[in-house]
């Protein structure tokens, strides 16, 4: 098979996949080359790129397999119309959820301990300031309590924080979920109540029609004055204009962002002149996570090779393989 990674700088991932698929060709293509590459591909791996109807009409294409969870850049309807299965790798069980949770803690600690200010005062030869905020005794609300949310909650327990969770339907009461200490688990209809109690809000749901813009002006106003927000989901889950206004007004004390409304994001954007800690969409980019995801991707490629539908196929009821 010919397998195209749809981003030309993912050499590390290319090597992981090629080592696991020695009889196949794992190739890189730039965003502007995707439609042409699709004509030669049996498998497209979107990464951060858009896979549109023109690419999905390619006659040899047998699978669109995300290297991770997010499929917001793939035209699922066009894939289904062309009988192309589309699959992802959920965050749980690969090391990805754990890696995203670790970066979430980095954001929380950097914001709480005023890391940027501390670096500046050190450079100025000043010691003993700034005064930071302890995590112990504070409340964190995790919006989107899936694989990532559970791993965040598991780690926050060690900081002796009160953890609130919110998911679409509320608690499932599974043994896995019940093993993690959570003070309250809310359904989506109680979002404002959940937000109003938190010193830190961690945004971690998938991006879909229900979650796009779910954190907007009303939701940010419901948060405590001086609270922090961290987004490790997708940029559009949080309304950009509402977040900028909440930060510029001082209602929110700061934000941690690994995801943005378009990527790459303009480093001169006015949002970044606020108290915002940023990373370039790398929450899941660790040795543990990338190797775990690669194993799942290869498993699905081999399933398609054998004439089977891939695991976690989002249009599996509508395509045949």
Catalytic residues: 234, 263, 281
Q: What sign does the dihedral 236-238-244-245 (CA atoms) show? A: positive
Contact criterion met (CB below 8 Å) for 185 and 150 = no
Q: At what angle do helices 11-20 and 287-305 cross, to 10 degrees?
A: 50
Q: Residues of 250-265 as b/e, b for ≥16 C-beta within 10 angstroms? A: eebbbbbbbbbbeeeb
Query: Quick one: three-class SS letters along 137-187?
Result: CCEEEEECCCHHHHHHHHHHHHHCCEEEEEECCCCCCCHHHHCCCCCEEEE
Look-up: residue for tokens 């035209």?
A: 75
Q: Which of 264, 197, 208, 202 is nearest to 230 (CA)?
A: 202
Strand, helix or coil at 219? helix
Q: In what order do the strands lie in the sheet with 252-257?
A: 184-187, 162-167, 139-143, 200-203, 227-231, 252-257, 276-278
Q: Does the bond joining 264 to the residue before it have cis omega, within 30 degrees of 0? A: yes
Instruction: Name residues whose C-beta falls within 8 Å of residue 266's C-beta, 6 or more positions apart in sequence.
Output: none
Alpha-carbon span 7 to 28, nearest angstrom: 6
Using CA atoms, how far residue 313 sits from 45, 67, 76, 293, 297, in Å, is 14, 13, 11, 15, 12
């Amino acid at each position: 098979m010919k397998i195209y990674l749809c981003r030309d700088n993912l050499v590390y991932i290319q090597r992981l996949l090629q080592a696991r698929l020695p009889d196949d060709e794992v190739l890189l293509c730039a965003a502007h080359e995707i439609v042409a590459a699709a004509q030669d591909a049996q498998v497209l791996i979107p990464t951060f790129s858009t896979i549109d109807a023109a690419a999905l009409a390619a006659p040899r294409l047998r699978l669109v397999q995300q290297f991770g969870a997010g499929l917001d850049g793939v035209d699922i309807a066009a894939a289904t119309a062309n009988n192309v299965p589309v699959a992802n790798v959920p965050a749980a069980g690969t090391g990805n959820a754990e890696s995203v949770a670790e970066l979430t803690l980095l954001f929380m600690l950097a914001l709480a301990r005023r890391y940027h200010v501390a670096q500046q005062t050190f450079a100025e030869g000043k010691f003993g300031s700034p005064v930071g905020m302890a995590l112990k005794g504070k409340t964190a609300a995790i919006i989107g309590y899936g694989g990532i949310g559970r791993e965040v909650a598991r780690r926050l327990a060690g900081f002796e924080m009160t953890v609130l969770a919110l998911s679409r339907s509320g608690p499932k009461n599974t043994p896995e979920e019940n093993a993690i200490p959570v003070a309250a688990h809310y359904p989506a209809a109680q979002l404002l109540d959940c937000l109003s109690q938190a010193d830190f809000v961690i945004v971690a749901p998938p991006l879909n029609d229900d979650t796009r813009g779910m954190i907007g002006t009303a939701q940010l106003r419901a948060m405590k004055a001086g609270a922090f927000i961290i987004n490790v989901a997708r940029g559009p889950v949080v309304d950009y204009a509402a977040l900028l206004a909440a930060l510029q007004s001082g209602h929110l004390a700061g934000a941690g962002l690994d995801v943005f409304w378009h990527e790459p994001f303009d480093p001169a954007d006015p949002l970044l002149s606020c108290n915002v800690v940023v990373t370039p969409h790398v929450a899941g980019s660790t040795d543990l996570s990338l190797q775990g995801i690669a194993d799942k991707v290869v498993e699905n490629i081999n399933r398609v090779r054998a004439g089977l539908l891939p695991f976690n196929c989002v249009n599996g009821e509508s395509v045949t393989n």
